[in-house]
Amino acid sequence: MPGGRFRADPGSRRASAATEQLEFATAAAIGLTDTPRWLPCQYLYDAAGSALFDEITRQPEYYPTRTEAAILRAAAAEIRERTGPVTLIELGSGSSEKTSLLLSAYGEAPGEVRYVPVDVSDAAIAASRRRVAADHPDVEFAGLVGRYEEVFPQLREHSPAMVLFLGSTIGNFNHGESLRFWRTMSRRLATGDHFLLGVDLVKEREVLEAAYNDAAGVTARFTRNLFVRMNRELGSGIDVTQIKHVARYHDAWQRIEIFARFRTAQEIALGPLGLTVHVDADELIMTEISRKFVLEHLTAYLEVFGFEVVRVFTDDRQWFAVLLLRNRRGH
Ligand code: AVJ
For a mutational test of ligand 1's pocket, the pick from 207, 288, 293, 322, i.e. the residue with the most ligand atoms closer than 8 A to its C-beta, is 288
pLDDT of residue 2: 33
pLDDT tens digits for 218-254? 999 999 999 999 999 999 999 999 999 999 999 999 9
pLDDT of residue 7: 43
For every residue of 62-106, DSSP letters joined together read --HHHHHHHHHHHHHHHHHHHH-S-EEEEET-TT-TTHHHHHHHH
Using a 10 angstrom Cβ sphere, with 0-12 exposed, 13-18 middle and 19 or more buried, the burial of residue 209 is: middle
pLDDT tens digits for 58-86? 999 999 999 999 999 999 999 999 999 99
Q: How far apart are the first and last CA of the chain?
A: 21
Q: Take atom 14 of ligand 1 and give the residue whose Cα is closest.
A: 169
Q: Which atom of ligand 1 is nearest to the CA of 247?
A: 12
